[in-house]
Structure 1
């Protein structure tokens, strides 16, 4: 005996995909809105500075967009600009990589081990409120050269957001997952590899994103104080010689570097956590 399928079953089976395609939004309106917001801000900047507007804020003392673009073009033709870029990128990537390894490892340990939390927990909570840039004098005294001190400050700034986010993500994991692995014969290593680390990945990447932003702030500040190369050092040097277009070139460069590295972390996070139920929604 055969049962005839309902008349609308074929439409239901074959209609889901076209319906989902029709419901998917095009990304171009959002991209156009973002580009338009930046273009609008640049246009307002040009109008205010070119007209020498002074309404409490002294826009007449700032360089115009055309002056900044001219200075940008001159610096792009010099070797020093690319040396500064490379030096800042080396510092931020080195410090951030060390902070990532230590932050994730210690965050998992703090979330999983009462003994480790009892030993390291109070120390981290005492040190966490101290701004990393306040440690610059200690770094100058502690390390044999400025380069190691700047990397240390950068890594210290990124460490605490990564560690705290990882710790909270580990503690928020449902115990049912761990119990399921142990019921199937898994040991502590299996729990860490199959439950703790994958389950904490969204929180880890949230900490990486925040830590990278804080690391850039402290890196630029450290370069201004004790650096000899780097975007922060060159920006401060331009200010000391009253080269205001050069100052804005440094500011824009810092913003572009921060945006690029943050976008890379966000893209990597989406790829790694694609298995999550919200992964498909974020990639649309």
Structure 2
């Protein structure tokens, strides 16, 4: 009878222990240690192999920026006048001194934060409205027949032309600026989303229906997923137009912001601060567009190598 608590093969274990001589040591087999992982040098070499082309592109881009800075310094320092005049253009050193003064006082940071807040609110609202509208227009013919003519009428109107009517529509200048930023980024996102839906293969929709997918599932898994590349193209273009619209609105009706700062520097004939405002606009636009591209890579990992 098998004693309680012993494993199923207890008889074999008892036989082995009984036949073992007292001098024979009891050995327990242990698994071999795992092989050592790659060294730091091997990991670094693998990382370089995977990111070689990206590093080359970064070096080329940094070199292009350096060449542009050197050319700017030479043209402004020598006051070159070859039809395009550089007598009053500040040098990079003067702009750097102006940057140091502005950041030490803290006033310029207030303008930067105000513009960033306006961009975030106006662009986010435009994306939240334009993407679903574009998807619905691409899916339903009636919605497209209603919205598309109105969109094509308002789309060619530049954002700067909306400033007078925007001041009359909204009670405060802050809301007017947000509206102009919204308008500037809305139409590129809408049009690219609509084109992304139009490019979807109808076979995918029919296949989803045959597999039992409902309308919401088709919207989420077919229309939205297939149109994502075009949507992010529209988001990137819309971000650039949003900055253009914002700066124009701040120059005309703003009381703070980078556009207001740049226009005020022009009114005071402060050339270094004018260039500082322009460079800040370009840097912030580059950062925000890069953030959108990074988000696109996270949501579309199958296009990460492009």
* 1:47-73 residue CA offsets vs partner (Å, 9 max, x unmatched): 111111111111111111111110011
Question: What is residue 199 of structure 1 aligned with on the other side?
Answer: 226
C-alpha distance in 1 between matches for 2:172 and 2:305: 48
Post-superposition offset of 1:29? 2.1
Identify which of 229, 243, 247 aligns with 2:256: 229
1: CA distance, partners of 2:52 / 2:98: 40
Q: CA deviation at 1:280?
A: 4.5
Equivalence for 1:5? none
After TM superposition, the score normalised by the length of structure 2 is: 0.83
Question: TM-score when scaled to structure 1?
Answer: 0.89
1:124 match = 151
| Match in the other structure for 2:305 | 281
RMSD: 1.6
1:167 paired to 2:194: yes
- Mapping for residues 87-236 of structure 1, pairs under 5 Å: 87-236=114-263
Describe the SS at the equivalent of 1:75: helix
* Equivalent residue, structure 2, for 1:3: none
On the 8 A contact 2:88/2:271 being kept in 1, the answer is no
Aligned pair count? 261
Name the counterpart of 2:278.
Answer: 251
Q: 2:58 aligns with which of 31, 35, 44?
A: 31
- The alignment partner of 1:156 has SS state of helix
In the TM superposition, residue 26 of structure 1 has moved relative to its aligned partner by 4.2
Where does structure 1 lack aligned partners over 5 or more consecutive residues?
1-20
State the shift of 1:23 in Å: 8.4
For 1:206 and 1:28, locate their aligned partners in 2 and report how far apart those are by CA, in whole Å.
24
1:102-134 Cα offsets, whole Å, 9 max, x none, are 110110111011111111111111111111210
Q: Which runs of 5+ in 2 are unaligned?
A: 1-47
* 3-state SS, counterpart of residue 60 of structure 1: coil
Equivalent residues in 2 for 1:263-278 (5 A)? Answer: 263-274=290-301, 276=302
Instruction: Give the superposition deviation at 1:22.
Output: 6.2
Query: Over alpha carbons, which structure has the higher Rg?
Result: 2
- Structure 1 range deviating more: 94-103 or 110-119: 110-119
